[in-house]
Amino acid sequence: MPDDAGLQALREAARLSPDNLPLRQHLAGQLLAKGYLADAEAEFRAALVLSPGNPEIIAGLAEAFVRQSAYGEALAALEPLLAEPGYPPEIGVLAARALAGEGDLARAAYRYFEAISRDPSLADPEFAARLNPPSQPQTPPQPQPSAQPSAQPQTPPYAAPQPVAQTPNGPATAFTATPAASYGQPMVNPRPGSPPEPESNAEVQQAGLTFADVAGMESVKEALRIKLLLPIQQPDLFAAFGKRAGGGVLLYGPPGAGKTHLARAAAGELGAAFINVGLADILDMYIGSSERNLHATFDMARRNRPCVLFFDEVDALAARRSDMRQAHTRQLVNQFLAELDGVDQNANEGVLVLAATNAPWYVDAAFRRPGRLDQPVFVPPPDAAARAAILRILCRDKPLAEMDFDAVAKVTEHFVGADLKGLVDRAVEAKLQQSISAGRPIPLTTADLLAAAKTVRPTAVREWMATARNYVMHANDSGAWDELMPWVKGKW
């Protein structure tokens, strides 16, 4: 029992009024402030019984643990709070201290910098120095975060991007984390001039296709032209209307209908680089690493503008936050939204984000706001004329006899581009066998394609339309899926 008259009085009052929560909390706080850590811990525990889950009490209890070097207990106490999005920054700093106490400097740094990006008054230069050991040979001296918000705030790892100064080598950040691959190592803190950026796993490619390689889909191509291409090709006209290049388009439709093909062709049409981002390039089992990968990928795109940044299966990265149980997956969505918005209005200029999904109804509605993926574009299954055109493109570099692509189109109802590609591949394989036996190239015929069509089953268009019909009929309050209405009413 502390030998302090004021505390004794408080303690006595709490004994007489054990259910008085504010009183017990006050007592616990006083004990903590005066360094009676074990007593403080006991009082916070008692207060927590009166008010389970109370974040202030949990924070107090965790601080009592940290100051007693009981880091594991502190983290266990904080865990439920950290799982909530937008947890108080004080909680983040406490978690950072506990993590650092356990020797997990990388995660400690993540929590610490994320927290002080939200409340710079929590900055603690001494603690920050511990997170960036000077023994790192490539680490320049670390800028000391000030106690007050300064003109050059510390940039958090990636959870909440801050304005950054542009350098010829790309954006310079005051704090940059290590690449995902080395997660678990202490983070370094490079400054402009040092090699600052974690690398994206995605690759910058040449598109190699233009819209001439995309059969049919005239209205889809037109929508992309207006949204993506004209602002870059005719910037003055767009500027006159107060519009700027950038922003994104959500391509949606059944699998295999040509979304990726279209995105690549849009890049080629524009003479832009193409960055094809798959889930494996972003998703990482470690908390925070996926956000970092996403940021690195956007930064790579910004360094390679003009470019088309294409996200396949985007519903996995941009799912409705309301459906998520894990707070850290919500963080990835928040990060994605922040990247799309950019740190300032020029940040994403010349970066055209195309995203594709078979399940647009799972994408968080926040992505449809202006400047983000604000224009959903339906990529439909091809009609007969489009199927014939796709077949023509798929066969154009093969030895051909006189072809009747319309006849093949007629027997391939419900086939999408990917199915037609499978059909042509199969016919070509058979022809190759024959050519090898004959010792000369035997041209492909309509009959070969018709025969192959019998062996290939169309993929999931019918099932996709059935699912889409459910959403359009029963979950279309915002009218987001109106464009699908005539399609789902058709016969599939």
Residue 356 lies near ligand ADP (rule: CB under 6 A): yes
Q: Would you call 200 exposed, middle or buried from its count of C-beta atoms within 10 A (0-12, 13-18, 19+)?
A: buried
Q: Do 428 and 398 contact (CB within 8 A), yes or no?
A: yes
Piece of the chain touching ligand ADP by CB under 6 A; list 240-248, 249-257, 429-437, 465-473: 249-257
Q: CB under 8 Å to 210, separation ≥6 — which residues?
A: 265, 268, 269
Asked if 217 interacts with ligand ADP (CB under 6 A), we say: yes
How many CA within 13 A on the CB side of residue 330? 13
Instruction: List the one residue from 89, 190, 216, 458 that touches ligand ADP (CB under 6 A).
Output: 216
Query: Which residue, 217 or 300, is less far from ligand ADP as judged by CB?
Result: 217
The reply to whether 255 sits near ligand ADP by the rule CB under 6 A is yes
CA–CA separation, 434 vs 203, rounded Å?
Answer: 38
Residue nearest to ligand ADP (CB): 417
Q: Does the protein bind ligand ADP through residue 431 (CB under 6 A)?
A: no
| Residue from the set 418, 427, 472, 488 that interacts with ligand ADP by CB under 6 A | 418
Q: What is the DSSP string of 233-260?
A: HSHHHHHHTT--S--EEEEE-STTSSHH
How many CA atoms lie within 13 Å of 211's alpha carbon, on the beta-carbon side?
16
Beta partners for residue 378, in sequence order: 252
Closest CB to ligand ADP among residues 64, 461: 461
Angle between helices 417-438 and 384-395 (to 10 degrees): 40
Question: Applying CB under 6 A, does 60 fall inside the site for ligand ADP?
Answer: no
Query: Based on CB atoms, which residue is closest to ligand ADP, 306 or 380?
Result: 380
Q: Which is nearer to ligand ADP, 105 or 314 (CB)?
A: 314
The answer to whether 459 contacts ligand ADP (rule: CB under 6 A) is no
Is 12 or 429 the residue whose CB approaches ligand ADP more closely?
429
Shorter beta-carbon distance to ligand ADP: residue 84 or 383: 383
Interacting residues of 322 by C-beta distance below 8 A, sequence separation 6+: none
Please identify which residue in 156, 258, 360, 380 interacts with ligand ADP, judged by CB under 6 A: 258
Query: How many chain residues bind ligand ADP (CB under 6 A)?
Result: 17
Total residues found in the chain within this entry: 492
Choosing from 215, 352, 427, 444, the residue that interacts with ligand ADP (CB under 6 A) is 215
How many helices (H) and strands (E) are present in the chain, helices listed first?
21, 8
Instruction: Quote the least distance from Cβ 214 to ligand ADP, whole Å.
Output: 5
User: Does 259 sit near ligand ADP (CB under 6 A)?
Assistant: yes
Find the shortest distance in angstroms from Cβ 414 to ligand ADP: 14
- From 271, 274, 249, select the one nearest 261 (Cα to Cα): 274
Element (H, E) at 342: none
Pick the closer one to ligand ADP by CB: 124 or 483. Answer: 483
Evaluate whether 318 touches 363 at the Cβ level (below 8 Å). yes
Q: Residue 192 or residue 255: which is nearer to ligand ADP going by CB?
A: 255
User: How far is 98 from 61, CA to CA, in rounded Å?
Assistant: 12
- Regarding 261 and contact with ligand ADP (CB under 6 A), the answer is yes
- Of residues 378-417, which lie at the interface with ligand ADP (CB under 6 A)? 390, 393, 417
Nearer to ligand ADP, 169 or 206 (CB): 206
What's the token pair of residue 53?
A: 């889950």
HSE (side-chain half, CA atoms, 13 Å) at 40: 22
Binding site for ligand ADP (CB under 6 A): 214-217, 255-261, 356, 390, 393, 417-418, 421
